[in-house]
Amino acid sequence: MERLAAFLLALAAFVAASALPDFGSGVLLAAGPLFGLAAAARKGARGAERLEDVLKYLVFFFVGVGGVWGGVGHVFFAGQTAASIGWAPSPFQFEVGLANFGFGVAGLLAPFTRPASWLGLAVAQSVFLLGAAGGHVASMRAGNFAPNNAGVIFYTDILGPLAMLALFCGLRRARKRAQAQGRPTEAA
């Protein structure tokens, strides 16, 4: 039931992100932890289990749904997407779109896999997004303050990776505490 609710909310988040393209990445960054907290509360999860739910749905929404959303934008609406970033359309957008789709499909699998499998995806997505943030800074220095260059996307390109890193570190600490107290945990 939790997975079905996540996928239905993912569709709603995708629509919301598409309806509010200048704020879409923020919608998806917020949706993951909020859904994770709700899922954890419904199960009565605490400690490491709660952090695992928050991280799982951050990866699912921010990386998964966000990747598909970015892929759709760069592949199927290249002109509009380029304009919103302050770029001219480019054949490289198709390649960026396919990279987004790859991250997206992998992120959508998060509810069906273990936390250890999310780490590589989170690291790869973080390198991509932090690199994109660096590109946004270079564009801003050149005077490009288009909404999808200097707006919410710039901040989520930094905050998303930081949130995933913080949650992975928190999950690892929570599991070590649980092990020290003699409770079973899954290695991440």
Q: What tens digit of pLDDT does each residue of 67-120 get?
A: 999 999 999 999 999 999 999 999 999 999 999 999 999 999 999 999 989 999
Exposed, middle or buried by CB within 10 Å (0-12, 13-18, 19+), for 183?
exposed
- R_g of the chain computed on alpha carbons: 17
- What's the angle, vertex CA 186, arms to CA 182 and CA 188, rounded to 5? 125
Question: Residue 184's pLDDT is what?
Answer: 67
Q: What is the pTM of this model?
A: 0.92
Distance CA 96, CA 23 (A): 20
